[in-house]
């Protein structure tokens, strides 16, 4: 459901009953596939097409025998009480799809901010069980660039395997069972270079110690001739504890300490904790950081 902002969201008793709310309060968006698990991943996408309205992302990782689907819904000032995804495809909705079963495309979706500085919002779609061009269930994350032109063909479908480097591309996981793309988030501008950065979670990496990949924005995104984005430009944050699942959840945190750089937070549920990482203008130099409580001054 999409809940509309307003000065008085709730009734006089302080409760907004979703089942009874009308179109002035919420928009319902039912899934298309009975077993699609639509809504497992949801996110705001920012203004992807530059029309002045922010857009929405919905993931349905169980759709089409687990192949998974994701949907980009363009914002509008005429959203109905119930939004029909199927009838909206072609005009109001872009259907994002992969090409193989059991990939869980859409398990995580996220706006990425403006990673290439073109003034349009970009977005991320995770496929954590993807095994293309890599080990089984290594995972993959798709990055799709905002555009004022149509992202999809006349059928409203964007086949993600046909991304070409100019309209988007992907990061491949390289660890069997690592599940890259299980969690995703925009990070804001962590290194202060004027481009928004991205967080890619890989919680089952290395005996489920987990790992987070920080992909810093750059004007080179959208200028390439290959859709495969290299790991060479990424920063890695790796957990220390087996089954810690570092990176199972993550989010940009804004500027927590007021230094002018954006920070981010990562969950490590197997260790019953979360960790905050502060922005740093030296992050543009790729490195790997293995987490250590001792290094952080903890016992």
Which pLDDT score is estimated for 14? Answer: 54
pLDDT bucket at 2, cuts 50 / 70 / 90: low
Q: What are phi and psi of 87, to 5 degrees?
A: -75, -20
Using one digit for the tens of pLDDT, what is the confidence trace for 219-266? 999 998 899 998 887 899 999 999 999 999 999 999 999 999 999 999
Residue that the structure tokens 């192949």 belong to: 67
Tokens of 118: 């073109």
- Does the pLDDT at position 213 exceed 50? yes
Tokens of 200: 């890619």
> Who wins on pLDDT, 164 or 298?
164
Average pLDDT over residues 12-40: 74
Q: What is the pTM of this model?
A: 0.90
**3-class DSSP state of 269:** helix
Q: Are strands 234-238 and 288-290 parallel, antiparallel or unpaired?
A: parallel
**3-class DSSP state of 232:** helix
Q: Which of 105, 145, 157 is nearest to 129 (CA)?
A: 105
Alpha helices in 47-185 (DSSP H): 85-88
Side-by-side strand order, sheet with 55-60: 41-46, 55-60, 69-73, 93-97, 157-159
Residues β-bridged to residue 159: 97
261-267: list long-range contacts, CB under 8 Å, 24+ apart: 261/189, 261/190, 261/191, 261/192, 262/187, 262/188, 262/189, 262/190, 262/197, 263/188, 263/190, 264/185, 264/187, 264/188, 264/190, 264/199, 264/214, 266/199, 266/201, 266/212, 266/237
Which pLDDT score is estimated for 112? Answer: 98
Which pLDDT score is estimated for 297? Answer: 41
**Residue pair 82/37 in contact by the 8 Å Cβ criterion:** no
Side-by-side strand order, sheet with 140-144: 109-113, 122-127, 140-144, 168-172
Which pLDDT score is estimated for 243? Answer: 97
Using one digit for the tens of pLDDT, what is the confidence trace for 131-169? 877 789 999 999 999 999 999 988 999 999 889 999 999
Which pLDDT score is estimated for 154? Answer: 87
**Interior/surface letters 85-115, b for 16+ CB within 10 angstroms, e for the rest:** beebbeebbbbbbbebeebbbbbbbbbbbbb
Using one digit for the tens of pLDDT, what is the confidence trace for 92-139? 999 999 777 779 999 999 999 999 999 999 999 999 999 877 789 999
Which pLDDT score is estimated for 135? Answer: 86
CA–CA gap between residue 110 and residue 45 (Å, rounded): 6
Average pLDDT over residues 27-50: 93
> Who wins on pLDDT, 13 or 129?
129
């Amino acid at each position: 459901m999409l809940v509309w902002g307003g000065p008085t969201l709730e009734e006089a008793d302080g409760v907004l009953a979703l089942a009874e709310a009308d179109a002035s309060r919420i928009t319902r968006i039912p899934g298309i596939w009975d077993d699609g698990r639509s809504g497992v991943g949801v996110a705001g996408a920012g203004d992807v097409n530059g029309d002045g309205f922010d857009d929405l992302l919905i993931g349905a990782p169980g759709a089409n025998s687990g192949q998974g689907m994701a949907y980009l819904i363009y914002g509008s000032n005429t959203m109905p009480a119930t939004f029909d995804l199927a009838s909206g495809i072609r005009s109001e909705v872009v259907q994002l799809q992969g090409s193989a079963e059991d990939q869980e495309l859409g398990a995580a979706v996220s706006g990425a901010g403006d990673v290439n500085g073109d003034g349009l919002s970009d977005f991320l779609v995770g496929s954590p069980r993807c095994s293309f061009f890599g080990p089984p269930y290594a995972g993959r994350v798709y990055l799709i660039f905002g555009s004022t032109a149509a992202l999809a063909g006349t059928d409203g479908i964007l086949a993600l395997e046909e991304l070409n480097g100019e309209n988007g591309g992907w990061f491949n996981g390289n660890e069997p069972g690592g599940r890259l793309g299980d969690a995703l988030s925009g990070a804001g501008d962590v290194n202060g270079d004027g481009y928004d950065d991205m967080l890619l979670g890989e919680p089952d990496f290395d005996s489920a110690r987990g790992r987070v990949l920080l992909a810093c924005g750059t004007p080179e995104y959208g200028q390439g001739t290959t859709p495969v984005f290299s790991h060479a430009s990424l920063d890695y944050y790796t957990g220390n504890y087996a089954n810690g699942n570092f990176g199972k959840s993550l989010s940009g945190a804004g500027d927590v300490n007021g230094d002018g750089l954006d920070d981010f937070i990562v969950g490590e549920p197997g260790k019953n904790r979360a960790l905050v990482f502060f922005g740093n203008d030296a992050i543009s130099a790729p490195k790997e950081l293995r987490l250590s409580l001792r290094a952080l001054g903890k016992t």
